[in-house]
Amino acid sequence: MATIKDVAKHANVSIATVSRIINNRGPISTKTRQKVYASMKSLNYQPNEMARALQKQKSNMIGLIVPSIVYAFFSRLIEAVEETCHNNGYKLMLCRSGENEDREIEMVSMLEGNKVDGIILCSRLGDASIYAGKTMPIVSIDRDIEGFSTVTSDNYYGGTLAAKELYKAGSRRPVLFGNEMPEYMTMNYRNVGFLEECKKLGVNPQYIWTSDALPNDDSLIQSFLKGMDQYQDADGLFIISDAMAAEIVCNQEVRNKGIIDRMPIISYDGLEISKLLNITTVAQPIYEMGVCATEQLIKRIEGKAMHMRSILPVQLIERDSTRKYKKC
């Protein structure tokens, strides 16, 4: 089995130079790095990560817990976190909770057991008290957890943008369709911003809540249809996420009822699917949220930052689902 000494000899550099490259420390020229990497590959040299971690009391690993890896929001977030980890010399350990509280608790324990240096959470725990007293650096995305940094987008302002856009498109009896979020989820401000702005505009909003946190179930469609049967005079629709909007807009039963074709629609997130379906959306900076969360965590790991709450800006992207209803 090749050793670090063998790599140094093969690359014609010092053992210290190989060590600095492996540990991503100190200024090393690109040419020297490439030469050492080529020698490591040629000799099939594998650094002993666990031994290095024990020696440094630092694993250079970050844990990320998300509820799903299927939906585009989380895929984009994962991409940002992984890229930022890589750029800063960290490796990523990815965990999927599947919206299951027991599984999330198990994964936190597993990450601690694997000696990760910190954790980025997209937590769905009803009771976040398990995180109380944790000394490990933790950054939370889209949820406020006392004692930890939080990264989110400006959900309240995004909700007001949605209300104003529907109003400009002629809606006076708008309906909000989404999840009734608990207060600790910052996404709740999206609902609050929309409903409060509607009242400021002098319109009477209605709302339909679904119990599905992720749009993966026929019950979401049934909740929507049942709710719209109650509000047959509705003339505008704000769907709380692009993924939910795609499920609704593409559903044949919904289309057969003509709901989609008779009123302006706006959704939220700014995912590619909203562009493909030509749906107006409030876009949040998902990639930037992932970068911000990771950079904050790394600063916490390295003792360079205190707890903070970062709120990133959102923007309205107008498309035909509202534009065609506006009077010139």
Q: pLDDT tens digits for 271-307?
A: 999 999 999 999 999 999 999 999 999 999 988 877 7
Tens digits of per-residue pLDDT, 78-136? 999 999 999 998 999 999 998 788 888 888 888 888 889 999 999 877 667 777 777 88
User: Do 268 and 197 share a structural domain?
Assistant: yes
Is residue 39 situated within a structural domain?
Answer: no
Whether 189 and 122 map to the same domain: the answer is no
State the CATH number of the domain containing residue 240. Answer: 3.40.50.2300
248 and 181 assigned to the same domain: yes
160 and 266 co-located in one domain: yes
Same-domain status, 263 and 161: yes
| Number of domain units in the chain | 2
Task: Kindly state whether residues 208 and 292 are assigned to the same domain.
Answer: no
- The phi and psi torsions of 118 (rounded to 5 degrees) equal -175, 170
Is 263 in the same domain as 163?
yes
Q: How many beta carbons lie within 10 A of that of residue 16, not counting itself? A: 11
> Is the domain of 142 the same as that of 291?
yes
Q: Are residues 101 and 196 in the same domain?
A: no
Region 148-160 average pLDDT: 95
Co-location of 143 and 228 in the same domain: no
Position 17 in a domain: no
Strands (E), 190-246: 206-209, 236-239
Over range 6-15, report the average pLDDT: 89
Structural domain boundaries enclosing 237: 155-284+316-323
Looking at the fold, whether 142 and 168 belong to one and the same domain comes out as: no
DSSP E strands in the chain: the ranges are: 61-66, 91-96, 118-121, 138-141, 149-153, 174-178, 206-209, 236-239, 265-269, 280-283, 309-312, 315-317
The partner residues of 239 in beta bridges, in order of sequence, read 177
- Residue 197 shares a structural domain with residue 278: yes
Euclidean distance between CA atoms 165 and 316, whole angstroms: 9
**Whole-prediction pTM:** 0.81
